[in-house]
Amino acid sequence: MQKRKRTKNLIKRSAAALNLFLLIGLCACTTGIPPSQTEPSPGETLSPGGMEESARETDQSIQNTEGTEEMDAKNDNYDALFENLTLTKSYKKTHQANPLMTQRFGADPYAMVYGDRVYFYMTADAFEYDAEGNIAENTYSKIHSINVISTSDMVNFTDHGSINAASSTGAAVWAHNSWAPAAAWKEIDGKVKFFLYFADAGGGIGVLTADSPTGPFTDPLGKGLITRQTPNCSDVLWLFDPAVLVDDDGRAYLYFGGGVPEGKTENPGTARVVELGEDMISLAGEPVTIDAPYLFEDSGIHKAGGKYYYTYCTNWQVDEAGTEKYGFHNAEIVSMESDSPMGPFTIKETILENPGRYFGLYGNNHHCVFSFRGGWYITYHTRVLEQAMGVEHGYRCTHVDAFDMQEDGTIGKIRQTLSGRAQLSYVNPYEDNRAVNMAVMGGIECVPADEESEKYGSGNMALGGIETGDFVLVKGVDFGEESPARWSAGIKNPDGKKGVIQLRADKPDGQILGYLPIEKAAADFTLFTAGLTQDVTGVHDLYLIFYGDGYEMETWKFER
């Protein structure tokens, strides 16, 4: 608990000294209807007190709604609570889509498209501390969980928690660590199954299975899928960094390996590919060596136009001769092309320079190329989040940028940005929306929303750790041509503390759409409902700004 508080206190806040007695005696328009349990729905730095305008410009109208004198009086009191409120600092600006999340770190990202969503699985970097309680260098040795988030619109991301993958408390009790995950799904015997491959440090690769992309995941083997005893793997320095491809014919392939043996800088010979069995948890043959010049780590694989593209990170010993011969530099992502998923592959081009060239902090380079809803993207990690925190000890966060794939498979050097990608679709406010689906946040945490997610680490999550001034921003909410009349939220308030959630449109000091008072105890998630004070139509960004603490929020929804 102490370390969690220290981490959160990196976010400097100066909440307004407003008294809770303003809430006492206020008559809330609330109901006690248990919320429906649904699956997650699709879906700058804010300096203290700063009210920076969203990049979204809108001509949609927001009009006053007449209310009774009694309601106006209540709203005046709520206005007073928020009048001088200082928003918790956010570590990215409201118009920035990168990094994908700031409530946690996430490294070595891997993307899996399933249905109308893309899921990102990431090494769960988390602060390590020295004996004096100071943040220490990231050694990766304490990492045994995998963070997972998803999106349907490429701007708002739903937090699904952290999969307990390794260690005595994880699914794979034999493994010490869980690094660099890769995920895939396949229909087997008429049922869709999900597979999560991970590295036990550099000593082998395990696999977990689940009936849902967010778990719970279990260990079907009780041991590593790839070990030192696997044929043609004993001399691979680092048995890690898996990537997986399920081909159009249903056959699947696993790519892995890394490390530079002494004297073999140009031709390390430590990359491997192997066909998986029909069950995705066995091998259908022996691993084959991929001849990848100046290989360091980070296998990647994608298919386009009938060709297979193996991508990887070059090592830190690329000399002038290597650059002249192959065109790449140290720690860059390089693409190789083949007519077969097993190779052989030939060098094609550099597609991603080291993020340090764009953002100022160098480090290892890890990526995944994927296609979603007709567009091509690359996900990779940087150190911009720790940099924004004033902590430069090797903690990484995930980005995504779009690119164009040419007919001949050429990509070129992908531009790395903080602005990120365009929003592909709008959020429907009239569906049950997960509160942890957001584009930007300040101060909040994501906590388990039920017993299953508490036990396994991933699944349904809720907003927690809420304090006065914290906020979330949901981008691109489409209210349609007719304004809603009310909204509700699934709230758990076990201590019965009083709080208020304020809704604003488009920017932190935009039009106030309404308030949701929290004035009763709720041991489980319960629907709290309130009317709106403004009509709102069309597409708007939606700010939820919090007053008070001790409560959690699982869902929200508008009604006409």
Dist CA 429 CA 532 (whole Å) = 14
Active site positions, annotated: 108, 297
3-state secondary structure of 316: coil
Q: How far apart are the first and last CA of the chain?
A: 42
Residues 378, 403 contacting (CB under 8 angstroms): yes
State the sign of the Cα–Cα–Cα–Cα dihedral 417, 419, 425, 430: positive
Q: Where on the phi/psi map is residue 10: left (φ > 0), alpha (ψ -120 to 50), or beta?
A: alpha
3-state secondary structure of 530: strand
Contacts of 4 (CB under 8 A, 6+ apart): 445, 465
The two three-digit tokens of residue 279, written as one number: 């069950």
Contacts of 325 (CB under 8 A, 6+ apart): 293
Give the DSSP letter string of 247-277.
-TTS-EEEEEE----TT-SS----EEEEEBP
The two three-digit tokens of residue 351, written as one number: 């597609």
Bridging pattern class, strands 271-275 and 522-531 = unpaired
Neighbours of 468 (CB within 10 A): 24
The two three-digit tokens of residue 19, written as one number: 């008294």
The two three-digit tokens of residue 88, written as one number: 């918790």
Question: What does the DSSP 8-state code read for residue 20?
Answer: G
Residues 389, 383 contacting (CB under 8 angstroms): no
Dist CA 481 CA 496 (whole Å) = 37
Dist CA 272 CA 283 (whole Å) = 13
Torsion of CA 230, 235, 239, 242, to 10 degrees: -80
Dist CA 140 CA 238 (whole Å) = 14
Contacts of 190 (CB under 8 A, 6+ apart): none
Residues 248, 238 contacting (CB under 8 angstroms): no
Question: What does the DSSP 8-state code read for residue 509?
Answer: T
Question: What does the DSSP 8-state code read for residue 552?
Answer: E
Neighbours of 327 (CB within 10 A): 13
Contacts of 434 (CB under 8 A, 6+ apart): 40, 41, 43, 158, 460, 461, 554, 555
Q: Which residue has the tokens 């001088």?
A: 84
Q: Where on the phi/psi map is residue 180: left (φ > 0), alpha (ψ -120 to 50), or beta?
A: left
Which amino acid makes up residue 235? Answer: D
